[in-house]
Amino acid sequence: MAIRWIDVSIPMKHGMTTWPGDPPFERVPEGQIAQGAGSNTSRLTLTTHTGTHVDAPWHFEEDGRRLDEIDPAVFFGDALLVDLPHVESVSAGDLGGEPLPARILFKTRNSELPVDAPFQTDYVALGRDAAERLADERVRLVGVDYLSVAPWKQDGQATHHVLLRNDVLVVEGLRLAGLTAGIYPFTVLPLPLEGADGAPCRAFVGLNHQST
Amino acid sequence: MAIRWIDVSIPMKHGMTTWPGDPPFERVPEGQIAQGAGSNTSRLTLTTHTGTHVDAPWHFEEDGRRLDEIDPAVFFGDALLVDLPHVESVSAGDLGGEPLPARILFKTRNSELPVDAPFQTDYVALGRDAAERLADERVRLVGVDYLSVAPWKQDGQATHHVLLRNDVLVVEGLRLAGLTAGIYPFTVLPLPLEGADGAPCRAFVGLNHQST
């Protein structure tokens, strides 16, 4: 049994969709062989919430854990992908009647957007009741396919607070188009930023293939 | 059988060791709850070769592959960790007489250095003959425990050229202290930088534990 790994991260490039008001992603040449340098190198400017990224509890909870205080075991293992192509908001009822596994990814119509689409305020997000059910069942990781797990300008940021207060790792900006509902190996590795509120990350979903 | 994942990445923080002449790593507050913002966020300044990172062929080969042209299968799988605590330079003879596996990590005295130590020019690196043997045997990934796979100011940068011309993925800046020689699961995920010469990454080595 071999695993084929599918990249579910947003390619980082000039013009990629970013949160309104955030500085844009930039990669500019630092050294260029074409200009006589010994090697090609680049300088990067971005934020802890650019592209596919994780939120540490401290992002919204002043006394919450920083990124490097999270047990990295949560970065590895299986995840349930829930496919909700027709919802405008994810509510507790969309989570079904079965007990929830430790890691859940939500695929919605967000995954169909181009990576450089203008920012959409009507993206699909998780309502407070969905966040409460996830926290109550001690889910450890929640992944979504837009730049926030919470609705645009949500009153009191209840979704973020409920998840982060309960030490649920939030992964935002996944690209899940083409994947069907099911359980998959899922690996997400954030940059090792010390003391940070979150970090850009790279994420892959694994497809099991019988070797021939 | 559960896997316990050990972080082998350099924590990114102010004062971390960087290549001479490179801009320093910076994480500065963008929004701060303590100052009245809705959430804590940070702006990052770094380079494609800050901390633990990968080199794409284009780093040294003007016609070489960019980071996003590399098959991500090389990010996953087993790796052989070779422990060479007493060498000043890794040569072909240090690689033993057996055929080489697809992914090899070299642990040297470099792994004992603090992450904020002043830059050392006498770090342990791979000589040209070692690079040639790795390329000849079609090794796909080589990891080292300092910021370059090649010796300081190597004539003609032979080590980089031999590896990158042969599409060997080079992982630099691993922290392998505490690990003994052997075969381990090894996952390394670089940021998804489009068209780049390399990228900061996060890397983990897995320890197999019998569940009790």
The secondary structure of B172-188 as a DSSP string is E----TTPPSEEEEEEE
Which neighbouring-strand residues pair with A47?
A: B43
For residue A44, the distance in angstroms to the closest alpha carbon of chain B comes to 5
Asked if residue A84 belongs to a domain, the reply is yes
Chain A residues lying within 8 Å of B39, measured CB to CB: 59-60, 157, 160, 197
Distances in Å between the alpha carbon of B181 and those of A75, B20, B92, B138, B148?
Answer: 25, 31, 17, 21, 21
Domain count for chain B, please give it. Answer: 1
Which neighbouring-strand residues pair with A27?
A: A44
List residues of A with catalytic annotation. 59
CB spacing of A47 vs B52 below 8 angstroms: no
Distances in Å between the alpha carbon of B193 and those of A25, A147, B154, B196?
Answer: 10, 17, 28, 6
Asked if residue A25 belongs to a domain, the reply is no
The confidence score (pLDDT) of residue B44 equals 98
Does B17 have pLDDT greater than 90? yes
Q: What is the pLDDT of residues B67-84, one digit of tens each?
A: 999 999 999 999 999 999
The confidence score (pLDDT) of residue A101 equals 98
Q: Compute the count of residue pairs across chains A and B with CB atoms less than 8 Å apart.
A: 176
Cβ neighbours of residue B147 closer than 8 Å, sequence gap 6 or more: B17, B18, B19, B49, B119, B123, B172, B173
The confidence score (pLDDT) of residue A2 equals 83
How many Å apart are CA B18 and CA A84, to the nearest integer?
Answer: 45
Distances in Å between the alpha carbon of B164 and those of B63, B65, B149?
Answer: 11, 9, 11
Q: What is the pLDDT of residues B84-110, one digit of tens each?
A: 999 999 999 999 999 999 999 999 999
How many Å apart are CA A207 and CA A185, to the nearest integer?
Answer: 7
Asked if residue B27 belongs to a domain, the reply is no
Sign of CA dihedral B55, B59, B60, B64: positive
The confidence score (pLDDT) of residue B1 equals 61
Asked if residue B42 belongs to a domain, the reply is no
Chain A residues lying within 8 Å of B62, measured CB to CB: 33-34, 40
Q: Nearest chain A Cα to B22, which residue?
A: A30
Asked if residue B24 belongs to a domain, the reply is no
Q: Which two tokens stand for residue A64?
A: 């919450």
The answer to whether B42 and A197 have CB atoms below 8 angstroms apart is yes
Q: Can you give the pLDDT of all 212 residues of chain A as single tens digits?
A: 689 999 999 999 999 999 999 999 999 999 999 999 999 999 999 999 999 999 999 999 999 999 999 999 999 999 999 999 999 999 999 999 899 999 999 999 999 999 999 999 999 999 999 999 999 999 999 999 999 999 999 999 999 999 999 999 999 999 999 999 999 999 999 999 999 999 999 999 999 875 54
Q: What is the mean pLDDT of residues B130-159?
A: 97
Nearest CB among B48, B192, B203 relative to A11 is that of: B192
Asked if residue B197 belongs to a domain, the reply is yes
How many Å apart are CA B108 and CA B128, to the nearest integer?
Answer: 17
Asked if residue B22 belongs to a domain, the reply is no
How many Å apart are CA A145 and CA A174, to the nearest integer?
Answer: 4
CATH classification of the domain holding B143: 3.50.30.50
How many Å apart are CA A128 and CA A8, to the nearest integer?
Answer: 25
CB spacing of A5 vs B76 below 8 angstroms: yes
The confidence score (pLDDT) of residue B120 equals 96
For residue A3, the distance in angstroms to the closest alpha carbon of chain B comes to 9
pTM recorded for the entire structure: 0.97
The confidence score (pLDDT) of residue A1 equals 61
* Amino acid making up residue A3: I
CB spacing of A202 vs B194 below 8 angstroms: no
Nearest CB among A13, A60, A200 relative to B194 is that of: A13
CB spacing of A43 vs B41 below 8 angstroms: no
Nearest alpha-carbon partner for A127 in A106, A100, A102? A106
The answer to whether A147 and A111 have CB atoms below 8 angstroms apart is no
Q: What is the pLDDT of residues B36-64, one digit of tens each?
A: 999 999 999 999 999 999 999 999 999 99
Instruction: Supply the range of the domain harboring residue A165.
Output: 2-11+48-209
How many Å apart are CA A191 and CA B200, to the nearest integer?
Answer: 7
Region at A139 (left for phi over 0; alpha for psi -120 to 50; beta for the rest): beta
Asked if residue B37 belongs to a domain, the reply is no
The confidence score (pLDDT) of residue B2 equals 83
For residue A72, the distance in angstroms to the closest alpha carbon of chain B comes to 7
Chain A residues lying within 8 Å of B43, measured CB to CB: 23, 45-48
